[in-house]
Homo-oligomer: A and B are copies of this chain.
Amino acid sequence: MSAQRKNSRQRNAILECVKKHEDHPTADIIYQEVRELFPHISLGTVYRNLSLLTSLGSIRKISCNNHADRFDWHLEPHAHFICSRCGKVSNFPSKIQLQYINDSGDDFRGLITDQSIFFYGYCENCYNPDSPADESLPGAKI
């Protein structure tokens, strides 16, 4: 029932481009870089393939507050830090484990396919002690 997949040089180049990056590039950054190999590639093709590669599980999409989505080829689960000012995404340096305090999650009907943990704030470059943020870090209990 599902459509057959055909190989495409553009898709391969897009995947290779994401894999070259350790810095969670946006679709537009990937477009700019792949354009050096395929000068006539369109942004639509880049979006289409990033979306396809995400749904195939080859890469992972990071959806960011008010900024363009980013893509990550590291599939092992890890938490991200997102800068609220410049939109930069980085891996959160600590390893984190989720503890389920109660098991009412068993009540959940439907299907869980993915999970994500984000920390928000201001990155080293954007953090200015003269303009403090409006919220403080909530406790670890979620």
Binding site for B on A (CB under 8 A): 55-57, 61, 63-66, 69, 76-79, 81, 83-84, 92-105, 107-124, 126-127, 132-142
**In the complex, A18 Cα to B90 Cα: how many Å?**
32
* Residues in chain B near residue A135, CB distance under 8 A: 57, 113-114
Most B CB within 10 A of own CB, among A114, A124, A133: A114
* Residues in chain B near residue A95, CB distance under 8 A: 100-102, 141-142
- What's the number of copies of this chain in the assembled complex? 2
**In the complex, A136 Cα to B115 Cα: how many Å?**
10
At the interface, is chain A mostly helix, strand, loop or mixed?
Answer: loop
Min C-beta distance of A133 to chain B, whole Å: 4
Min C-beta distance of A86 to chain B, whole Å: 11
**In the complex, A123 Cα to B136 Cα: how many Å?**
32
Contact B96 A104 (CB under 8 A): no
Contact A112 B117 (CB under 8 A): no
Contact B96 A101 (CB under 8 A): yes
A123 touching B97 in the complex, CB below 8 Å, given contacts A61-B65, A63-B66, A142-B117: no
